[in-house]
Amino acid sequence: RNLLEYLPDWVCDCRKIEMLDVSHNLLSELPSRLLNSLSLRKLLSGNNHLQRVPDLLDHIPLEVLDLQHNKLTDLPENLFYKALKLVSQPSKGLFALNCL
């Protein structure tokens, strides 16, 4: 709950970060560099103002992506090709999925 409107570059440059909680901020987008990190396994980004999610690369270790309570209207198609636990807000037309 820092009222972040964007993630600083240094967050994306962290090579050993495995879990990141940026929930309860004012983020409108997630940097694709962050989502395609080779170390990030869990990203909690609920309760923001996210309108879209960037495409994911195939080889990333991301296992959990929390998108609850955002302003998403659709998700990238390749998101469903990942072995990923995806959490989103049912009342906004998206829902919790286990994409395994």
pLDDT confidence tier of residue 100, bands split at 50, 70 and 90: very low
Rounded CA-CA distance 92/70 in Å is 8
C-beta separation of 25 from 1 below 8 A: yes
Instruction: Answer whether residue 6 shows pLDDT above 90.
Output: yes
Provide the whole-model pTM: 0.81
Q: DSSP letter string over 13-54?
A: H-SS--EEE--SS--S---HHHHT-SS--EEE--SS------
Closest CA to 12 of 4, 3, 20: 20
pLDDT attached to residue 94: 52
Phi, psi of 85 (to 5 degrees): -95, 115
pLDDT digits (tens, 9 = 90+) for 14-44: 989 999 999 999 999 999 999 889 999 999 9
Determine which of 19-23, 46-50, 54-58, 62-66 has the lowest per-residue pLDDT on average: 54-58
